[in-house]
């Protein structure tokens, strides 16, 4: 990999940061403790700005505002079409500010500026529009019941919801949670990851401009153990939605159980297999595998971190893959030539490098990469291991970085067994021209998504979430809308002669 250090775009310099405070009940405020924390630019490891640090007390204030907006405010009561109108305005405002928001995600998370501007940001506007279209189509059923009784179901918003989101897709994760919750008529508290609060605060500002009533959408930056835990254990939050690591997901579920038994939805880690069969176009398959692991520098829970290749094409596939990895351009995310920016933060950077060392120590063959790049920031070479045993740590743990493990298999049955040999079940991919192989494998893999002859293909209407220890509950699609609704049965006698 080569390090490109261009700064071709004017926003490559740190743009002026307009919003650094907590957003509660429609206004930006300091935290009650007065505490602040640093958000860091992973390109340089330098501090961008200090952000107000929300703690339990601030979460309490935000929950009171959200509760009042839910119990007494207009949002849950207005017709769905009125909520939709505001959500559509919100989407337009996001598109109008795409460059500025993309720059915030690029400096805060090390994401490729052009991908954010042309990918993430239009995508979040589309997510808002998708759910805006659903806001006036939420309805229950009529129930025939018996000769004397009739009933109907109401789909009611679940109430005040907490969203705890990660740092790898600060914009897409924000709207994956917020959009269906808004459509359902919920009010909410969002805690962005401590590494990436900047775009979330910008979205709070746009929400207000769009006309979302005060108290409906509150954004509280802060740390997981304090602000995050205050959300999952809160007695007056009705549901919590989380995307992040499996370890933290477990803590959130426990906190929810120990407090008010709020339902949780968890989108957790993955160790996703991509299976390449002998009849694949080797060049295209190698490209797919590489993008599957290197997109967003491997910081994506559906990364193709285990690539299983059938023995007939293994040698040639391996050669192509390594060639392509060596030509991959790592560097400043504002440089249009760059394909991979820095890892999100120091902790992540060190964790990835320690997994690479572990892989080497356990006897896997390092085909390419394995080292940091440059003398500042958190850049890591695209890294490929071969001769990986299924029980090695690098084959089992989610590394969340640009590290791919290659495996060889003979038969379909062996491929299915290897693919399922993981505690995770988020995504899987397969490349073949044989329809029977595609049908058999896609039904045999225990994961929430299977991509056939593609990878990382997303859509607002395609539910996204895990089997096994990758969690439960779905983002996107109408399945996600239903997380924010609950069903009430209303029953009445048809004719009550005693009255």
Least Å from the CB of residue 309 to ligand ADP: 29
Least Å from the CB of residue 159 to ligand ADP: 19
Residue 116 annotated among the catalytic residues of the structure: no
Of 301, 318, 398, 405, the catalytic one is 301
409 contact partners, CB below 8 Å, separation of at least 6: 275, 308, 309, 310, 311, 415, 418
Q: Which residue is nearest to ligand ADP (CB)?
A: 224
- The neighbouring-strand residues paired with 163 are 190, 241
Nearest to ligand ADP of 33, 444 (CB atom): 33
Nearest to ligand ADP of 89, 191 (CB atom): 191
Q: Which residues bind ligand ADP (CB under 6 A)?
A: 164-166, 191, 193-194, 223-225, 228-229, 232, 244-245, 248, 251-252
In the chain, what is the greatest distance between 2 CA atoms, to the nearest angstrom? 85
Q: Work out whether the CA dihedral 4, 5, 6, 9 comes out positive or negative.
A: positive
Smallest Cα–Cα separation from 25: which of 255, 232, 188, 233? 188
Residue 301 annotated among the catalytic residues of the structure: yes
Of 251, 267, 299, 398, the catalytic one is 267
Nearest to ligand ADP of 31, 232 (CB atom): 232
Residues for the chain: how many in total? 499
Smallest Cα–Cα separation from 476: which of 457, 456, 462, 490? 462
Nearest to ligand ADP of 251, 332 (CB atom): 251
Least Å from the CB of residue 232 to ligand ADP: 5
DSSP 152-178: EEEEEE--EEEEE--SSSHHHHHHHHH
Nearest to ligand ADP of 164, 325 (CB atom): 164
- Angle (CA) 335 94 193, round 5°: 70
349 contact partners, CB below 8 Å, separation of at least 6: 42, 342, 343, 372, 378, 380
Least Å from the CB of residue 347 to ligand ADP: 7
Catalytic residues: 267, 301
């Amino acid at each position: 990999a080569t390090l490109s250090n261009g700064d071709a775009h004017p926003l490559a310099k740190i743009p002026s940061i307009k919003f650094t405070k907590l957003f509660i009940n429609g206004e930006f405020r300091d935290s009650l403790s007065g505490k602040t924390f640093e958000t860091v630019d992973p390109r340089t490891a330098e501090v961008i700005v200090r952000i107000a640090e929300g703690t339990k007390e601030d979460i309490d204030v935000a929950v009171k505002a959200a509760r009042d907006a839910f119990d007494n405010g207009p949002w849950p009561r207005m017709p769905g079409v009125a909520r939709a109108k505001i959500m559509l305005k919100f989407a337009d405002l996001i598109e109008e500010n795409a460059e500025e928001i993309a720059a915030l995600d690029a400096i805060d998370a090390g994401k490729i500026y052009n991908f954010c501007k042309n990918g993430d940001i239009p995508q979040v506007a589309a997510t808002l529009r998708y759910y805006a279209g659903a806001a006036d189509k939420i309805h229950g059923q009529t129930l025939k019941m018996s000769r004397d009784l009739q009933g109907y179901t109401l789909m009611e918003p679940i109430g005040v919801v907490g969203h705890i989101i990660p740092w790898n897709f600060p914009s897409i994760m924000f709207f994956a949670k917020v959009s269906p919750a808004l459509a359902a008529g919920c009010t909410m508290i969002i805690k962005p990851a401590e590494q990436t609060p900047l775009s979330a605060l910008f979205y709070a500002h746009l929400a207000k401009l769009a006309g979302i009533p005060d108290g409906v959408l509150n954004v509280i930056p802060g740390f997981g153990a304090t602000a995050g835990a205050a959300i999952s254990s809160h007695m007056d939050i009705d549901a919590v939605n989380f995307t992040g690591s499996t370890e933290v997901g477990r803590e959130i579920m426990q906190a929810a159980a120990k407090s008010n038994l709020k339902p949780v939805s968890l989108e957790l880690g993955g160790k996703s297999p991509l299976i390449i069969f002998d009849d694949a176009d080797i060049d295209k398959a190698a490209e797919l595998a590489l993008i599957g692991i290197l997109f967003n520098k491997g910081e994506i829970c559906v990364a193709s971190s285990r690539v299983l290749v059938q023995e007939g094409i293994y040698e040639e596939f391996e050669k192509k893959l390594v060639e392509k990895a060596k030509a991959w351009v790592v560097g400043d995310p504002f440089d249009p030539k760059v394909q991979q920016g820095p890892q999100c933060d120091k902790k992540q950077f060190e964790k990835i490098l320690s997994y690479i060392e572990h892989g080497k120590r356990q006897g896997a063959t390092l085909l390419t990469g394995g080292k940091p790049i440059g003398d500042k920031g958190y850049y890591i070479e695209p890294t490929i291991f071969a001769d990986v045993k299924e029980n090695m740590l690098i084959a089992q743990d989610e590394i969340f970085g640009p590290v791919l493990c290659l495996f060889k298999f003979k038969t379909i049955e062996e491929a299915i067994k290897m693919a399922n040999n993981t505690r995770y079940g988020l995504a899987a991919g397969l490349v073949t021209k044989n329809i029977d192989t595609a049908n058999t494998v896609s039904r045999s893999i225990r994961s929430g998504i299977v991509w056939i002859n593609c990878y990382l293909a997303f859509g607002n209407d395609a539910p996204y979430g895990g089997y096994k220890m990758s969690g439960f509950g779905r983002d996107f699609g109408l399945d996600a809308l239903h997380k924010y609704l609950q069903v009430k049965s209303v029953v009445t006698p048809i004719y009550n002669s005693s009255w």
